[in-house]
């Protein structure tokens, strides 16, 4: 496992001064799966800052971080996704080789075809990580996506935080 000593001096100094926020959410927003995974509708949510070619980049000029999200259609060719994460400390090399490392849509398509999961939702969601001031994310963007997933009757969400 990597330690702070494995990071460059620049990144270590950044992390030392990073204003980590702590939010106590009660009750914890989780729920038990009420039916078999093989009968469940599943959606993916990532914080890799991915977007479709037709969507705008996440706004890197917002000092506290862009709390918006991008809707990713289930029909997208995964290799056409564009990464627009703002963090200079974010290692993009793996995602450039295979976007499934951060957004495993192709792997979930395989799980769907094998009957491991019931059905993939018609849309998935991408946020940008590295949000220093998460108030808008916690109070607005994330609840909006949660409502959309609920409206879609999604049973399970696979989150890939990066």
Cβ atoms 65, 133 nearer than 8 A: yes
Q: How far is CA 134 from the centre of its chain?
A: 14
For 23-42, write each residue's pLDDT tens digit.
Answer: 556 666 677 899 999 999 99
What are 64-84's pLDDT values in tens digits? 889 999 999 999 999 999 988
- In the prediction, which pLDDT does 45 show? 98
Sign of the torsion formed by the C-alpha atoms of 105, 48, 138 and 159: positive
pLDDT of residue 26: 61
Low-confidence ranges of the chain (pLDDT < 50): none
Residue 23: what pLDDT? 59
Q: Which two tokens stand for residue 81?
A: 């996704």
CA 20 to chain centre: 18
pLDDT number for residue 131? 82
Specify the pTM.
Answer: 0.85
């Amino acid at each position: 496992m990597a330690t702070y000593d494995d990071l460059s001096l620049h990144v270590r100094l950044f992390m030392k001064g990073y204003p980590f926020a702590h939010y106590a959410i009660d009750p914890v927003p989780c729920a038990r799966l009420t039916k078999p995974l093989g009968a469940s509708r599943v959606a993916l949510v990532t914080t890799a800052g991915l977007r479709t070619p037709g969507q705008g980049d996440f706004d890197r000029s917002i000092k506290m971080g862009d709390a918006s999200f991008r809707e990713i259609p289930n029909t997208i060719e995964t290799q056409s996704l564009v990464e627009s994460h703002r963090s200079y400390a974010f290692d993009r090399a793996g995602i450039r080789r295979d976007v499934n490392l951060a957004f495993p849509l192709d792997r979930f398509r395989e799980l769907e075809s094998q009957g491991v999961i019931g059905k993939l939702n018609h849309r998935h969601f991408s946020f940008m990580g590295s949000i220093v001031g998460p108030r808008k994310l916690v109070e607005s963007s994330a609840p909006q996506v949660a409502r959309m997933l609920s409206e879609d009757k999604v049973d399970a969400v696979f989150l890939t935080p990066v």
